[in-house]
Amino acid sequence: MKIFVAGATGAIGRPLIAQLLDKGHDVVALTRSPERAQTLAQQGVEPAIADVFDADAVKAALTRAQPEVVIEQLTALPKTYTGESMSAAAPFNRRIRLEGGANVLAAAQAGGVRRYLRQSIAFWAVPGSGLAHEETPLAFDASPAVAADVCTVSEIERRLLETPNIEGIALRYGFFYGPGTWFAADGDVAQQVRQQQFPIVGNGSGVWSWVHVEDVAIATVAAAEQGNPGIYLITNDRPLEVRVWLSAYAQWLNAPPPPQISVEDALRIGGADAVYYGTQMRGASNAKAKRELNFQPRSLEWLVDTAVAHAS
């Protein structure tokens, strides 16, 4: 199939492009950078240079490409993962997802694109017992930054799924790990954990769902080829409480054990969002993706055997 990828050079874009080429697809990839366009061309991808905020340029790129499918992986997130850097990036991230994404979606609609897939988020389900499913309500009443992101996510999903004449698929990914992510051994969170700056909050009962970036790429290509319109949670088989994954992660990194701080201290230092992530986050079920996309995610790399496996 001819597939147009927006966000082709990010943490997901890179393995996604490789996976699409591997599966024999004809790929056109959007970037703002002539240098990155050159790299894409060397990989066998047709580059399209445009800024997503330039609606005319995006429309021209899509008209030229004439793709059957569009995959949108646009984000504007920082390389560091702290409360401060995420707050600073939030307006840009919201804008690229809402305005930038709207330009790509409108161009796709005008260009007669059959199917449109978009990156979304697996960890915004309302807190509760058990794992969240695709139909579980989202956490509109969560802490401020989470609630704001829930609004953005629900808006981009609604817009996509209600666009007439396009098969919309929202792919709600878990926390990324693997090359180029915050949680890679050379990533920002690894650095914070080595310096004991990433604590377990309270009893560490927040449940995080994970997914390796290469598994994201595999699931995304499967959804492009054989998914049904709607929502898919793309996460691995084993959502984990913070106290479990963070302790194992520190061990994998050969770092000291993570410090533990009280909910009161976390509220004072990191605010309500830090407490939400640390104690209330709800894990997600990948049952639908396994059933319909034959998704077979790998185990979290730092849990394979923490007694012997260490980050290289």
Ligand X SMILES: NC(=O)c1ccc[n+]([C@@H]2O[C@H](COP(=O)([O-])OP(=O)(O)OC[C@H]3O[C@@H](n4cnc5c(N)ncnc54)[C@H](OP(=O)(O)O)[C@@H]3O)[C@@H](O)[C@H]2O)c1
Would you count residue 150 as binding ligand X (CB under 6 A)?
A: no
Would you count residue 10 as binding ligand X (CB under 6 A)?
A: yes
User: How many residues touch ligand X (CB under 6 A)?
Assistant: 28
For ligand X, the closer CB: 173 or 295: 173
Would you count residue 173 as binding ligand X (CB under 6 A)?
A: yes
Provide the minimum distance between the beta carbon of 156 and ligand X in the complex, in angstroms, as a whole number. Answer: 13
SS (H, E, C) the chain: CEEEEECCCCCCHHHHHHHHHHCCCEEEEEECCHHHHHHHHHHCCEEEECCCCCHHHHHHHHHHHCCCEEEECCCCCCCCCCHHHHHHHHHHHHHHHHHHHHHHHHHHHHCCCCEEEEEEECCCECCCCCCECCCCCECCCCCHHHHHHHHHHHHHHHHHHHCCCCEEEEEEECEEECCCCCCCCCCHHHHHHHCCCCCEECCCCCEECEEEHHHHHHHHHHHHHHCCCEEEEECCCCCEEHHHHHHHHHHHCCCCCCCEECHHHHHHHHHHHHHHHHHHCCCECCHHHHHHHCCCCCCCHHHCCCCCCCCC
Choose the stretch contacting ligand X; rule: CB under 6 A; options: 157-165, 170-178, 219-227, 231-239. 170-178
Report the residue from 45, 62, 74, 190 that binds ligand X according to the rule CB under 6 A: 74
Would you count residue 232 as binding ligand X (CB under 6 A)?
A: no
Q: Which of residues 178-197 bind ligand X (CB under 6 A)?
A: 180-182
For ligand X, the closer CB: 248 or 267: 248
Provide the minimum distance between the beta carbon of 144 and ligand X in the complex, in angstroms, as a whole number. Answer: 19
Strands 230-234, 167-173: parallel, antiparallel or unpaired by DSSP? parallel
Report the residue from 23, 36, 133, 159 that binds ligand X according to the rule CB under 6 A: 36
Q: Which of residues 107-146 bind ligand X (CB under 6 A)?
A: 121
Would you count residue 84 as binding ligand X (CB under 6 A)?
A: no
Would you count residue 236 as binding ligand X (CB under 6 A)?
A: no
Q: Which residue is nearest to ligand X (CB)?
A: 10
For ligand X, the closer CB: 8 or 303: 8
Choose the stretch contacting ligand X; rule: CB under 6 A; options: 10-18, 219-227, 257-265, 289-297. 10-18
Would you count residue 51 as binding ligand X (CB under 6 A)?
A: yes
What distance lies between CA 268 and its chain's CA centroid? 28
Binding site for ligand X (CB under 6 A): 7-13, 30-33, 36, 51-53, 74-77, 96, 100, 121, 173, 175-176, 180-182
